[in-house]
Amino acid sequence: MELALVYTLKCNARCRHCGFNCSPTANSKIDIKKAEGYIRKAADIDEVKRIVFTGGEPLLYHEEICRLIAYTTKLGMTSRIVTNAFWAKSKAVAKDIVKELTDSGLTNINFSADMFHQEYVNCKNVENAIEASHEFGLVPVIARCVTNKSHGKDEFLTLYGLAPNSVIDVKDIPVGEMSYMGNRDFKIREKYRSKVLVRESNMIPRGRALQIRHYCREEAFGEIFDEACTEVIQKPGIFPNGNLYACCCSGEPVEMLNVGNLEETSLETLFHRMHENSVFWFLSQYGPYRLARLLEKRQMIRNPKRASSVCEICLDTLDAWDGHDFQLLLEDHFAMEILEGLSEPVLRPKSSS
């Protein structure tokens, strides 16, 4: 399990697809002392194994981030950072910064790179950053947002100076190996040492992306989206205002995912509340598609004819529903499963709060 710190909403870029509306003028950030407190409390929760630093662009504050990575390492957790590589303007600078990060203990690095980031960050920066990552023993991951206007795979690889045989789609990596990639398991990391991992995801129409919704790659609303959510509960996030969300969403988080505020409640208590939440449990076991179907069956919402992703279905469903009558939905769900011979009912807490 990992805990994300959305360290800042400030970013050097103002990407057209940004679900969080990050920009150079978005100044909210987590105070470094508070961040240290969050990390210290997270270290006391056995299930938290990794701290993720994201944004916005966290490396606008790279000295603070290095300090926090070092503190994370000292407390026995691994760390990951998500960055657009704006800082890697030359090979020398890229090496200096990646060395600082790895000397502090960084174990994973993700680069946001796609048609939208290209408008603000030169592709050569990402190439420099990837080269430096390899030199200092990191396995770089490119997070690529794709749309119906995105470059083809070959053109994308050429733009970022990537040889086809050096790239592996994250979907092709065994789950077990991916989960150990950042745990200093050098036997597994050695296998991918010279590789670049690519994780593609469809653009989600949230935040500024709503203005270019027609860019979305959509599928008919149906069983293609029938999958459990691996993000909710497993990848919660703390935002600059102190709110803990059960999922570090791909867009402005919805209120249903808000577990509580760390100015008012301890991290341990919020984690307990998150694990006891029946809606989050359902999403983690059965997924947003099944929740949306159950809600539509009871005429609580109307589902779209098409959608871009499971995440869009989840966020739109939770936006349209306030959580009432969840126990009735559970009964509907398990009745359907029993009739179809799929599974036995599982008892869960009655409260969805």
CATH number at residue 120: 3.20.20.70
One domain, residues 211 and 248: no
Burial class (CB in 10 A: 0-12, 13-18, 19+), 339: exposed
Asked if the structure places residue 227 within a domain, the reply is no
Percent of the chain with pLDDT over 70: 88
Confidence tier at 215 by pLDDT (50, 70, 90): very high
Asked if the structure places residue 200 within a domain, the reply is yes
| pLDDT of residue 81 exceeding 90 | yes
pLDDT of residue 345: 47
**pLDDT, tens only, 154-210:** 888 898 988 888 888 888 877 666 665 555 555 566 777 788 999 999 999 999 999
Asked if the structure places residue 203 within a domain, the reply is yes
Helix (H, G, I), strand (E, B) or coil at 46: coil
One domain, residues 140 and 269: no
340/353 Cα distance (integer angstroms): 30
**pLDDT, tens only, 290-313:** 889 888 887 888 888 888 888 999
pLDDT of residue 44: 96
Residues 74/46, Cβ–Cβ less than 8 Å: no
pLDDT of residue 183: 56
Question: Which DSSP state fits 238?
Answer: E
Tally of domains in the chain: 2
- At 132, the amino acid letter reads A
Asked if the structure places residue 83 within a domain, the reply is yes
- E-assigned strands of 131-252? 140-146, 167-169, 196-202, 219-220, 237-238, 243-245
Asked if the structure places residue 64 within a domain, the reply is yes
Asked if the structure places residue 226 within a domain, the reply is no
One domain, residues 325 and 200: no
One domain, residues 257 and 213: no
19/207 Cα distance (integer angstroms): 4
129/89 Cα distance (integer angstroms): 9
> Which residues, in sequence order, are CB contacts of 233 under 8 Å at separation 6+?
1, 246, 247, 274, 275, 280, 281, 284
| pLDDT of residue 353 exceeding 50 | no
One domain, residues 180 and 45: yes
pLDDT of residue 303: 86
One domain, residues 44 and 126: yes
One domain, residues 117 and 15: yes
One domain, residues 209 and 263: no
328/298 Cα distance (integer angstroms): 9
| pLDDT of residue 272 exceeding 80 | yes
Distances (CA, A) of 171 to 19, 25, 184, 297: 23, 36, 21, 33
One domain, residues 211 and 251: no
Asked if the structure places residue 309 within a domain, the reply is yes
**pLDDT, tens only, 304-337:** 888 888 899 999 999 888 777 776 777 776 666 6
Domain range spanning residue 262?
A: 237-340
Choose the weakest-confidence range: 46-50, 132-136, 335-339: 335-339
One domain, residues 242 and 213: no
Q: State pTM to two decimals.
A: 0.89
One domain, residues 191 and 260: no
pLDDT of residue 347: 47
